[in-house]
Amino acid sequence: MTTLPLEANPRHVLAIDIGGTKLAAGIVTATGELLDTVRTPTFVEQGPDRIVERLLDLSRTLLQRSRASVSRVGIGCGGPLDTRRGLIQNPPNLPGWIEYPLVRRIQAGLGLPVSLENDANAAALAEYHFGAGQGTRHMVYLTISTGIGGGLILDGELYRGKHGNAGELGHIQVRYDGRPCNCGGRGCLEGYASGTNIARRARELAAHHPESLLARLVPSLEDIQAQTVLAALQAGDPVAHALWDETLDMLAAGVASIVHAFDPERVVIGGGISNFADLLFPPLRERVARRSMPALADSVDICPAAFAENVGILGAAAVALREPMEVSL
């Protein structure tokens, strides 16, 4: 696919971000300026048809309110997706969306051309075009929150792989025969460094160290979250320090594998964990350098993402602003 520079399309786009807990839509310019936005809970129990009806109502309200000239629609949504046919293929956070023709429904409801992309790929495009990846041709985006995902920009192109599933960076193996992962494998990066699994490992450690600050910061061990670990770490708790040290080692192993596999100019890390930049980036950079070939380690920049709250909308906008894919309806 030949990619047009974003500046080649000066019109505004409608960007839609579909998540398991919220729906968001925004009007975005070709330079990534968010002009207006609306958000509402998803209410997944309503099912796809009702949710799409609400999403169309939300989009129409936004278009009428902004009075912007919108040329097309971009949608970011959790996978698995069939982006060529415009289908949602039963994502875990959207139960009941089985082979759902989202692109056809949105296109018919708004009368505009529609592009669909995996949300992690969309976020990678947002950072590449508007954020921390600007000025590069080879960028890897890694998002660390509830799970771990990513997107690959190789020679200026979003790389999807044969089946559109490239970028599953959370399932790089960092420990042979390690912790079981939801994917069916063992020792995956996500099993150690996602927010969910940092919290799970913390609860296990706190149960063995009830005297630790980590255990005493919450009423019940079940209340421990990744933020609890970081609070205990900042307060000097040695149990939290040991947990964070192992997390950094696992993350460094994963990032070093990414560096060796793709030789990127920049690795951009987003998600909730990047909010603790002082605790994350200096030690991570040092450990990745130790684990990487010098020629590669010396040429890669590891940095925080530019966007947090609005990355989904900006990513969907970047999808819309690129040359449209052929979608078979």
Query: What's the pLDDT band for 329 if we cut at 50, 70, 90?
Result: low
Q: Among positive and negative, which fits the CA dihedral 293, 299, 305, 311?
A: negative
Residue 189: is its pLDDT beyond 80? Answer: yes
Average pLDDT over all residues of the chain: 91
Residue 242: is its pLDDT beyond 80? Answer: yes
SS3 35: strand
pLDDT at position 2: 34
Residue 41: is its pLDDT beyond 80? Answer: yes
248-263 average pLDDT score: 97
CA distance 285 to 301: 8
Domain pair 12-119+310-322 / 132-304, same fold? yes
Q: Strand pairing of 70-77 and 81-82?
A: unpaired
Query: What's the pLDDT band for 21 if we cut at 50, 70, 90?
Result: confident
CATH 3.20.20.120 fits 132-304, yes or no: no
Give the fold, CATH level 3, of 12-119+310-322: Nucleotidyltransferase; domain 5 (3.30.420)
Q: Strand pairing of 12-18 and 70-77?
A: parallel
What residue ranges do the domains of the chain occupy? 12-119+310-322, 132-304
Burial 270-306 (b: 16+ CB within 10 A, else e): bbbbbebeeebeebbbebbbebbeeebbeebebbbbb
pLDDT at position 325: 44
Backbone angles phi, psi at 60, to 5 degrees: -65, -40
32-53 average pLDDT score: 93
Residue 328: is its pLDDT beyond 50? Answer: no
7-32 average pLDDT score: 85
**Residue whose structure tokens are 């939290």:** 240
Lowest mean pLDDT among 43-52, 119-128, 160-169, 226-235: 160-169
Residue 250: is its pLDDT beyond 90? Answer: yes
pLDDT at position 9: 41
pLDDT at position 5: 46
Query: 0.95 cut: is pTM over it?
Result: no
pLDDT at position 79: 82
